[in-house]
């Protein structure tokens, strides 16, 4: 069972920025902190590696999510206080293979109501846990108790791990959905597929605040206009099979589609080159149209 907790963030001091030569992969085990000599810490358990084949042994029930994001391997290890073995800190470090996958798995955890800090590219922090991503890695640092020394050590450990990770750029598609009106900390990259649809795999979604209320906008990049069209057609057919819509549209020359559905509320989408662009769960159609057109303008 996964050990997952949270922490009150103490700002970490960044001493150096790690540099990584292009094409050189960092070993996940090299990122595990060593117990500080004379610092009162010792190994609780030494680094243990998990791969896609056996990750379920560590996080049963959640392993498939990481596998969807094509994670390569992870290492877990723990330090404990010499004077109190129950006072421990556990490190879970996942090599996700690419910055996009690292951001994607991280984005599954963040919500606007959570607390965030400047560790790595961004960190989610709470009383006994820090989660962050940087480069090709997603990292969780968990406290094993409310011991004050343990809680104070979490941001130091997290900062040390982050400083040792080389930076890497996200693909440009991550930044297409416009920032204006976007609800902070809601941008997500979904490997499995937007709205649970395989046709919309490898897609982006963010929440937006419109005058009439909140909605979600999405972007589905494909390799060609034909693939984008096929993805939208497949999605519409699924809506019909789920009895979300009463009839199928004429697919000849299809470029836009709108419907009112039980699962997704009001749904509007259009094709723009190799992209499917859409808005769901909106209130006013004219506001959704403005948002869709704004997104489309960002594609040019």
- pLDDT of the chain along its 300 residues, tens only? 333 333 333 333 332 333 344 455 789 999 999 998 778 899 999 999 999 999 999 998 899 999 999 999 999 999 999 988 889 999 999 999 999 999 999 999 999 999 999 999 999 999 899 999 999 999 999 999 888 989 999 999 999 999 999 999 999 999 999 999 999 999 999 998 887 788 999 999 999 999 999 999 999 999 999 999 999 999 999 999 999 999 999 999 899 999 999 889 999 999 999 999 999 999 999 999 999 999 999 997
Specify whether 34 is located in the same domain as 156.
yes
Judge whether 184 lies within some domain: yes
Judge whether 118 lies within some domain: yes
For 254, other C-beta atoms within 10 Å of its C-beta total 14
Specify whether 156 is located in the same domain as 35.
yes
Judge whether 21 lies within some domain: no
pLDDT at site 161:
97
pLDDT at site 128:
93
CB 246 within 8 A of CB 261: no
Judge whether 13 lies within some domain: no
- Provide the domain count of the chain: 2
pLDDT at site 124:
98
Q: Which residue, 112, 141, 163, sits at the end of a domain?
A: 163
CATH number of the domain at 44, please. Answer: 3.40.1000.70
Judge whether 145 lies within some domain: yes
Burial of 246 (0-12, 13-18, 19+ CB in 10 A): exposed
CATH number of the domain at 216, please. Answer: 3.40.1000.20
Report the alpha-carbon distance of residue 147 to residue 163 in Å, rounded.
25
Specify whether 152 is located in the same domain as 71.
yes
For 202, other C-beta atoms within 10 Å of its C-beta total 16
Specify whether 207 is located in the same domain as 144.
no
Tell me the sheet residues that pair with 48: 76
Specify whether 131 is located in the same domain as 190.
no
Q: Which residue, 143, 163, 183, sits at the end of a domain?
A: 163
Q: What is the pTM of this model?
A: 0.88
User: Would you call 280 helix, strand, or coil by DSSP?
Assistant: strand
The range of the structural domain enclosing residue 53 comes to 28-163
Report the alpha-carbon distance of residue 133 to residue 102 in Å, rounded.
6
What's the residue count for the chain?
300
Specify whether 183 is located in the same domain as 153.
no
Judge whether 79 lies within some domain: yes
Specify whether 112 is located in the same domain as 224.
no
Judge whether 268 lies within some domain: yes
CA 176 to chain centre: 16
pLDDT at site 14:
31
Judge whether 140 lies within some domain: yes
Specify whether 131 is located in the same domain as 252.
no
Q: Which residue, 163, 184, 201, sits at the end of a domain?
A: 163
């Amino acid at each position: 069972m996964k050990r997952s907790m949270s922490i009150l963030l103490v700002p970490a001091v960044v001493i150096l920025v790690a540099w990584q030569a292009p094409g050189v992969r960092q070993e996940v085990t090299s990122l595990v902190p060593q117990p500080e000599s004379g610092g009162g810490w010792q190994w609780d358990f030494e680094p243990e590696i998990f791969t896609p084949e056996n990750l379920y042994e560590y996080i049963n029930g959640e392993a498939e999510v990481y596998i969807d994001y094509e994670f390569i391997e992870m290492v877990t290890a723990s330090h404990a206080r010499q004077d109190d073995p129950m006072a421990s800190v556990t490190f879970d470090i996942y090599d996700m293979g690419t910055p996009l996958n690292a951001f994607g798995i991280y984005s599954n955890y963040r919500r606007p109501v959570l607390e965030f800090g400047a560790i790595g590219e961004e960190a989610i922090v709470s009383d006994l846990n820090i989660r962050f991503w940087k480069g090709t890695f997603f990292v969780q640092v968990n406290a094993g108790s409310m011991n004050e020394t343990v809680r104070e050590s979490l941001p130091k450990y997290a900062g040390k791990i982050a400083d040792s990770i080389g930076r890497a750029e996200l693909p440009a598609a991550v930044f297409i959905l416009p920032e204006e009106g976007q609800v902070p900390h809601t941008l997500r990259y979904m490997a499995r597929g937007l709205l649970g649809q395989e046709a919309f795999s490898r897609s982006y979604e963010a929440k937006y605040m419109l005058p009439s209320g909140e909605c979600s906008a999405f972007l589905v990049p494909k390799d060609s206009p034909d693939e984008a069209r096929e993805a939208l057609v497949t999605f519409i057919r699924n809506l019909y099979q789920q009895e979300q819509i009463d009839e199928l549209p004429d697919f000849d020359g299809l470029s836009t589609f709108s419907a009112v559905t039980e699962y997704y509320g009001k749904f509007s989408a259009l094709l723009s080159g190799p992209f499917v662009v859409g808005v769901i769960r909106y209130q006013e159609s004219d506001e959704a149209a403005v948002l869709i057109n704004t997104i489309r303008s960002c594609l040019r």
